[in-house]
C-alpha cells in the first residue's frame, strides 16, 4: 500500500522537450506478456529491463528517456528527449520506434512538444487552446492523429518554470488525451447494445398489452416465460458491459479532475479551451453511455414489476384450480365414505352368514347326541341375532381404532 503512492512518479523535465506516449490496451492475463515484450526490447536496446511485476520502470538510452508503466487495463511506453525538433515522430525517434516490440491494440499515441516561451503562435492545426497553471503555460491540440498516428500537442511554458512542475504539467496534459481515449471505449459498447435494450422495451410494451387479454393459466404462464427470457437477455447483456461502462465513468472523472486542476482559461478569442471543446464533443458520448446504463436499470425494474404481476396472476389462477381440485377430491371422499359404509354393512351380513353356518355345523353334533331338545334349524335361527350383534360391535371397534390412529 505504501509503495502504491510512489508507483508512477512524475519525471522532472526541462524545456525544450519532446515526449511520446504509447498506451496499449491489454486483458487481465496480458500484462505479464507485455512486461516480457518490454524486457526483450530493453535487452535488445542494451538498457535496464523492467521486472516481471513492474508498475513503473524508468531508464535511459543515451539522451532518450524510456518509461514503462502497467495499469489496470493498459500498459504504456513513454519516450522523451530534450529536443525542439518539430519533425514527424517517425523521423525524430526512428531509432526507437522501428525497434519497438509488436504489442496488440495500440489505443493511444500522443506526441507532445514542450517549449519555452508563451508568445509563440499556436499551431495552425489546433482546434482547442487553453492557458493553464495560472497563465504560466499554454496548451493547444486538435485531438486528431497525424500521418504517424500520433495526436500532436503543443505546450508552451513560462521561462524559468521548475523542472518538476514542467514534468507534472506534461504528464497531466498527456493523461487527458489518454484517459479521454479509454473513456470513449464505452461508446461503441453503448451503440452495440442499444438495439437490444430498445427491442426488449418494445417487446415489453407488447407483452403488457397482451396481459389484458390473457385470461387462462396457460396464457399467463406463456407470457411469464417470455418475460423471463427478456430478463435473462437483459441481465446477461448488462453483466457483459458493466465493467466497460463503469471504467468509462472513472476515466471521465479523471479527465474532469485533470482539467479542473489546470485552472484553464481561454488562450485567445478564436479557439475554445480544452474543457469547452471536450464538453461539446466528449461529454455527449459519455452521456450516451450513462443513458444506456440508466435504460438498462429502468428496464430491469420494469421487467421485475411485470414479472411480479404475472406471477401473482399465475398464483391466483393456480389457487383457483387447486380449489376446484380440492372440491372434487372432497366429493370423491364423500362418495368413497358412502361406498365404504355400504360395503361395511354388506360385510357384517356376509361375516354373520358364515359364522351362523359354522355354528350350525358345530351345534349339529350336540343335537344329534341328544344333549339339546331343539332342532338344528331352530338353534341356528336363535344364534343369528347375537352373532350379528357381535360382528357389528367388532366392526365398530375396528373402525374406531382406525380413526384414532
What's the CA angle centered on 19, arms 254 and 22, to 5 degrees? 60
Of 361 and 42, the structure prediction assigns the larger pLDDT to 42
> Tell me, what's the pLDDT at 73?
86
265-266 β-sheet, strand order = 56-61, 64-70, 74-81, 17-25, 106-116, 151-157, 137-145, 128-132, 265-266
> Tell me, what's the pLDDT at 403?
65
Among the ranges given (27-36, 202-211, 283-292, 365-374), the one the predictor scored with the smallest mean pLDDT = 365-374
Write the CA distances from 340 to 4, 98, 177, 204, integer angstroms.
85, 100, 90, 55
pLDDT band at 316 (very low <50, low <70, confident <90, very high): confident
Of 364 and 205, the structure prediction assigns the larger pLDDT to 205
**Residue 347: other Cβ atoms inside 10 A:** 13
What confidence tens digit (pLDDT) does each residue in 163-190 have?
999 999 999 999 999 999 999 999 999 9
pLDDT band at 315 (very low <50, low <70, confident <90, very high): confident
> Tell me, what's the pLDDT at 59?
86
Calculate mean pLDDT across residues 364-390. Answer: 75
Among the ranges given (72-86, 278-292, 311-325), the one the predictor scored with the smallest mean pLDDT = 311-325
Among the ranges given (71-80, 120-129, 331-340, 392-401), the one the predictor scored with the smallest mean pLDDT = 392-401
Q: HSE (CB half, 13 Å, CA atoms) of 101?
A: 21
Please check the confidence at residue 324 and state whether its pLDDT lies above 90: no
> Tell me, what's the pLDDT at 186?
93
> Tell me, what's the pLDDT at 372?
66
Q: Are the beta carbons of 47 and 66 closer than 8 angstroms?
A: yes
**Residue 56: other Cβ atoms inside 10 A:** 14
pLDDT band at 56 (very low <50, low <70, confident <90, very high): confident
Chain mean pLDDT for the chain: 86
> Tell me, what's the pLDDT at 50?
78
> Tell me, what's the pLDDT at 30?
75
Write the CA distances from 394 to 330, 352, 353, 388, integer angstroms.
28, 11, 15, 10
Calculate mean pLDDT across residues 27-46. Answer: 80
What the block records as the C-alpha cell of 162 is: 521548475
pLDDT band at 158 (very low <50, low <70, confident <90, very high): very high
Calculate mean pLDDT across residues 131-142. Answer: 93
Please check the confidence at residue 287 and state whether its pLDDT lies above 80: yes
In the chain, domain spans:
3-177, 186-316, 326-404
Of 51 and 152, the structure prediction assigns the larger pLDDT to 152
Calculate mean pLDDT across residues 239-245. Answer: 91
Q: Are the beta carbons of 18 and 81 closer than 8 angstroms?
A: yes
312 contacts: CB under 8 Å, gap ≥ 6? none
> Tell me, what's the pLDDT at 6?
65
pLDDT band at 402 (very low <50, low <70, confident <90, very high): low
Please check the confidence at residue 365 and state whether its pLDDT lies above 80: no
Quote the distance between the C-alpha of residue 68 and its chain's center.
32
Please give the Cα distance from 33 to 47 (Å, whole number).
19
pLDDT band at 44 (very low <50, low <70, confident <90, very high): confident
Calculate mean pLDDT across residues 228-234. Answer: 91
Please check the confidence at residue 23 and state whether its pLDDT lies above 70: yes
pLDDT band at 55 (very low <50, low <70, confident <90, very high): confident
pLDDT band at 100 (very low <50, low <70, confident <90, very high): confident
Please give the Cα distance from 297 to 303 (Å, whole number).
10
pLDDT band at 202 (very low <50, low <70, confident <90, very high): very high
Find residue 181's DSSP bridge partners: none
**Residue 150: other Cβ atoms inside 10 A:** 20
> Tell me, what's the pLDDT at 386?
85
- Of 81, 106, 100, the C-alpha closest to 41 is 100
Residue carrying C-alpha cell 338353534: 379
Calculate mean pLDDT across residues 234-248. Answer: 92
Please check the confidence at residue 216 and state whether its pLDDT lies above 90: no
Calculate mean pLDDT across residues 211-215. Answer: 81
| Neighbour-count burial of 365, counting CB atoms closer than 10 A to its CB (0-12 exposed, 13-18 middle, 19+ buried) | exposed
Amino acid at each position: 500500500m505504501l509503495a502504491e503512492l510512489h508507483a508512477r512518479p512524475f519525471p522532472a523535465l526541462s524545456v525544450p522537450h519532446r515526449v511520446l506516449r504509447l498506451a496499449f490496451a491489454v486483458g487481465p492475463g496480458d500484462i505479464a506478456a507485455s512486461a516480457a515484450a518490454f524486457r526483450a526490447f530493453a535487452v535488445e536496446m542494451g538498457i535496464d529491463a523492467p521486472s516481471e511485476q513492474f508498475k513503473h520502470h524508468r531508464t535511459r538510452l543515451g539522451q532518450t528517456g524510456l518509461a514503462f508503466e502497467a495499469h489496470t487495463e493498459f500498459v504504456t511506453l513513454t519516450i522523451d528527449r530534450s529536443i525542439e525538433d518539430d519533425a514527424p515522430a517517425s523521423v525524430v525517434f526512428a531509432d526507437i520506434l522501428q525497434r519497438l516490440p509488436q504489442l496488440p491494440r495500440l489505443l493511444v499515441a500522443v506526441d507532445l512538444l514542450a517549449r519555452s516561451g508563451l508568445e509563440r503562435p499556436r499551431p495552425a492545426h489546433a482546434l482547442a487552446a487553453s492557458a493553464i497553471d495560472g497563465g504560466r503555460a499554454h496548451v493547444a491540440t486538435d485531438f486528431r492523429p497525424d500521418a504517424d498516428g500520433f495526436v500532436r500537442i503543443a505546450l508552451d511554458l513560462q521561462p524559468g518554470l521548475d523542472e518538476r512542475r514542467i514534468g507534472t504539467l506534461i504528464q497531466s496534459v498527456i493523461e487527458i488525451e489518454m484517459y479521454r481515449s479509454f473513456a470513449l471505449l464505452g461508446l461503441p459498447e453503448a451503440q452495440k447494445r442499444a438495439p437490444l435494450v430498445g427491442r426488449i422495451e418494445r417487446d415489453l410494451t407488447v407483452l403488457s398489452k397482451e396481459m389484458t387479454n390473457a385470461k387462462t393459466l396457460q396464457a399467463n404462464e406463456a407470457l411469464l416465460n417470455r418475460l423471463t427470457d427478456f430478463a435473462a437477455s437483459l441481465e446477461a447483456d448488462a453483466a457483459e458491459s458493466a465493467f466497460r461502462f463503469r471504467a468509462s465513468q472513472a476515466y471521465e472523472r479523471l479527465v474532469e479532475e485533470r482539467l479542473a486542476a489546470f485552472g484553464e482559461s481561454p488562450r485567445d478569442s478564436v479557439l475554445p479551451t480544452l474543457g469547452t471543446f471536450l464538453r461539446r464533443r466528449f461529454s455527449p458520448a459519455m452521456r450516451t453511455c450513462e443513458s444506456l446504463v440508466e435504460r438498462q436499470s429502468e428496464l430491469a425494474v420494469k421487467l421485475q414489476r411485470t414479472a411480479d404481476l404475472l406471477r401473482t396472476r399465475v398464483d391466483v389462477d393456480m389457487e383457483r384450480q387447486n380449489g376446484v381440485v380440492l372440491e372434487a377430491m372432497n366429493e370423491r371422499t364423500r362418495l368413497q365414505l358412502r361406498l365404504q359404509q355400504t360395503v361395511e354393512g354388506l360385510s357384517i351380513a356376509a361375516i354373520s352368514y358364515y359364522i351362523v353356518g359354522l355354528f350350525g355345523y358345530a351345534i349339529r353334533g350336540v343335537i344329534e347326541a341328544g344333549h339339546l331338545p331343539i332342532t338344528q334349524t331352530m338353534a341356528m335361527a336363535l344364534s343369528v341375532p347375537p352373532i350379528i350383534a357381535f360382528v357389528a360391535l367388532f366392526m365398530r371397534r375396528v373402525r374406531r381404532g382406525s380413526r384414532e390412529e
